[in-house]
Amino acid sequence: EADIYQTPRYLVIGTGKKITLECSQTMGHDKMYWYQQDPGMELHLIHYSYGVNSTEKGDLSSESTVSRIRTEHFPLTLESARPSHTSQYLCASRLGTDHRAFFGQGTRLTVV
């Protein structure tokens, strides 16, 4: 079973608030990812990281930012939440030599 954890699982927050979604993995994986998934829709990559101090934007435009100060930790921040940010956010990781990506349980964000 994959050891990748996301908190919180569910979050309801007001417009304009700053939020940080946490993602941690204990597998020593170098590569980490954030995907966004709306109900019934495909997952879209919004950020990824090759390792410490490395971050890149994915294909889907996102107003969020990420950081990778430690190998095991890849938090995602929204400076000012809007209703359009309502979605499920999924964190994933993999070892560079292994193509399998392992996902966390997700954070379901609702901005009211």
Q: Does residue 90 sit in helix, strand or coil?
A: strand
Does 54 engage in binding with other proteins (CB under 8 A)? no
Which amino acid would we find at residue 85?
H
| CB of 51 closer than 8 Å to CB of 30 | yes
Residue 74 backbone phi and psi in degrees, to 5? -145, 75
Q: Which stretch binds other proteins (CB under 8 A): 11-19, 65-73, 75-83, 94-102?
A: 94-102
Q: Is the dihedral of CA 35, 83, 109, 17 positive or negative?
A: positive
| Beta carbon nearer to other proteins, 6 or 81 | 6
Return the residues of window 13-52 that contact other proteins according to CB under 8 A. 31, 33, 40-45, 48, 50
| CB of 106 closer than 8 Å to CB of 10 | no
The CB-of-18 to other proteins minimum distance in angstroms stands at 24
Site residues (CB under 8 A) for other proteins?
Answer: 2, 6, 31, 33, 40-45, 48, 50, 56, 58-59, 90-92, 99-106, 108
